[in-house]
Amino acid sequence: MDDRRGRFEAQVLPHLDAAYRFARWLSRSPSDADDAVQEAILRAFRAFDSLRGTDTKAWLLTIVRNCHSTALKQQQRRASGPLPEDGDAQMDEAMIATAPDPESAAIRRDDERTFDRLMAALSAEHREVLVLREIEEMDYREIAAVTNLPIGTVMSRLARARAALKTRWLQETGTKPHAMP
Amino acid sequence: MQCPDSLRVQAFFDGEVDAVSAAEIERHTEGCAQCRALLQELERTRTALRQGVTDFRASPALRARISAALDQESIGRAPPRRASARASWRTQPFWLGAVSGLGASAVAAALLFLLLAPLLNNPLVDDLADAHMRSLMPQHLIDVVSTDKHTVKPWFAGHADVSPVVADFGDRGYRLIGGRADYIDHQRSAVVVYQHGAHVINVFSWAADGRSLPKSATRSGFRLLFWRAGDLEYCAVSDTGWDELQGLVALLANLNSSDLPK
């Protein structure tokens, strides 16, 4: 194994699980997450010489996020491609929009992980900052770097995301919000 | 109505404020019931989230895929001499150069290479040789250890996408030692592992997709023999001689044809 590959593996691959978790939460699909992470690692490997500084994890997660949004755009382009010419077109589109994805259906069936379901129900923007802060334990500056947002926006979005999660959680457990201390 | 200091309280909770501000915020929360409640909520939600969420991990299959992809990438960066030794689609610029730079013989050679390229440059061949090499590393050879085909075969049902023929030919010198699932060509390939003398023979199998495969190939000192039976492609890989490898393939192919009615 050459030296560059060895350095890459030592410095970047320790963050592979974090990259996968992030991709998994962004896409909510195991296979899409696999694809995004593999693509991200390859891009990271090609760009490895340009990595400066020590924040490898934020750097890698930024690449994962880019790979995910590229894949998402491609999926949307395919989904909104040529539609049938008859009057069913609108109906088809409506069905695509409302059909539950297999992942969330599986989570509903498998009831043991409440917060998987609660997180999946949040908007992508809210879920993203929550994963980076609470699961990956990144600071505001790192979250701002990964999401390409100003720090002030990270703070307000994080506050809204936490409030949204708390509300759903209280609904789930049947507790009324004003019963909180 | 939310306290205007709630974002500062959140920043305090997230450890984002300096000591002076932290002391200020602590004083503030003593007097502000709303911010005290907010701090408790933040703590409660964080604890519940961290405990109640699945800790997803990159699967071994993904790690293997990434390792193989990095192998490809490393080869692409290596000097041309090394790149051509392990042919892949990345060697294209190498033969393009040959066509443009040299005379008729080079053109003829390049044409011949082009004709053979689909067979010689099959990335699947590299994948199989890599998978064989990986299997020889400690702890990688066998997932289910058994000399009994009635143990190995059902194991594949839960761990691989295909169900290949499994048999023990211990009396003919090819001892069944176990099975393994490997990620080959985007599917969970079933691998039956045989021992022949001191040599390990991996027999890979995966769903045929009509793609043309070579009959045999050599990669990194390993020999690969391909055959097809029913809906499955098989490939036996080892560092044994061709005759020894062919011996096992003949036994398996024979079994396949006699097994068909079942």
A62-111 pLDDT, tens digit per residue, is 999 999 999 998 888 888 765 444 444 344 433 343 444 555 555 454 54
Instruction: Kindly state whether residue B162 falls inside one of the protein's structural domains.
Output: yes
Please indicate if any CB of chain A lies within 8 Å of the CB of B115: no
Residues B230 and B152 in one domain: yes
DSSP state of B168: -
User: What is the separation, in whole angstroms, between the first and last Cα of chain A?
Assistant: 59
- Domain containing B168 — which CATH number? 3.40.1000
Q: For residues B52-64, give the mean pLDDT.
A: 93
Q: For residues B31-44, give the mean pLDDT.
A: 93
Which range has the worst mean pLDDT, A9-18, B87-96, B119-128, B169-178? B87-96
With vertex at residue B51, the alpha carbon angle to CA A55 and CA A18, rounded to the nearest 5 degrees, is 25
- Give the residue, B196 or B183, on which the prediction is more confident: B196
**CA–CA separation, A167 and A171 (whole Å):** 6
Residues B111 and B164 in one domain: no
Residues B109 and B129 in one domain: no
Instruction: Kindly state whether residue B163 falls inside one of the protein's structural domains.
Output: yes
Please report the pLDDT score of residue B64 as a whole number: 93
Residues B243 and B204 in one domain: yes
Please indicate if any CB of chain B lies within 8 Å of the CB of A115: yes
Instruction: Kindly state whether residue B1 falls inside one of the protein's structural domains.
Output: no
Which range has the worst mean pLDDT, A124-128, A153-157, B108-112? B108-112
Please report the pLDDT score of residue A112 as a whole number: 53
What is the set of domains in chain A, with CATH numbers?
1-80 (1.10.1740.10), 110-181 (1.10.10.10)
**B69 with A115: Cβ contact below 8 A:** no
Task: Kindly report the number of other CB atoms within 10 A of residue B203's CB atom.
Answer: 24
Nearest CA in chain B to A31: B62
The band of A175, judged by pLDDT with boundaries at 50, 70 and 90, is low
Q: How many domains does chain B have?
A: 3
Residues 5-24 of chain A with CB under 8 A from chain B are: 5, 8-9, 16-17, 19-21, 24
Residues B174 and B48 in one domain: no
Residues B114 and B147 in one domain: no
Task: Kindly report the number of other CB atoms within 10 A of residue B231's CB atom.
Answer: 11
Q: For residues B216-224, give the mean pLDDT.
A: 85
Q: For residues B120-137, give the mean pLDDT.
A: 78
**A135 with B49: Cβ contact below 8 A:** yes
Please report the pLDDT score of residue B99 as a whole number: 44
Q: For residues A21-30, give the mean pLDDT.
A: 95
User: Over chain B, what is the mean pLDDT?
Assistant: 80
Residues B146 and B228 in one domain: yes
Please report the pLDDT score of residue A87 as a whole number: 40
User: Over chain A, what is the mean pLDDT?
Assistant: 82
Please indicate if any CB of chain A lies within 8 Å of the CB of B52: yes
**CA–CA separation, A66 and A42 (whole Å):** 13
User: What pTM was computed for the model?
Assistant: 0.53
Please indicate if any CB of chain A lies within 8 Å of the CB of B6: yes
Please report the pLDDT score of residue B88 as a whole number: 40
**CA–CA separation, B10 and B16 (whole Å):** 9
Residues B85 and B163 in one domain: no
Instruction: Kindly state whether residue B193 falls inside one of the protein's structural domains.
Output: yes
Q: Which of B78, B98, B120 is the last residue of a domain?
A: B120
Residues B25 and B128 in one domain: no
The band of B82, judged by pLDDT with boundaries at 50, 70 and 90, is very low
- List the beta bridge partners of residue B235: B204, B226
Instruction: Kindly state whether residue B84 falls inside one of the protein's structural domains.
Output: yes
Residues B95 and B137 in one domain: no
Residues B76 and B195 in one domain: no
Instruction: Kindly state whether residue B204 falls inside one of the protein's structural domains.
Output: yes
Please report the pLDDT score of residue B261 as a whole number: 43
Q: Which residues of A touch B18 (CB under 8 A)?
A: none
User: Which domain range does residue B41 map to?
Assistant: 6-52
- Cβ neighbours of residue B259 under 8 Å, at least 6 residues apart? B165
Please indicate if any CB of chain A lies within 8 Å of the CB of B46: yes
Residues B155 and B203 in one domain: yes
Helix (H) or strand (E) holding B117: helix B104-120
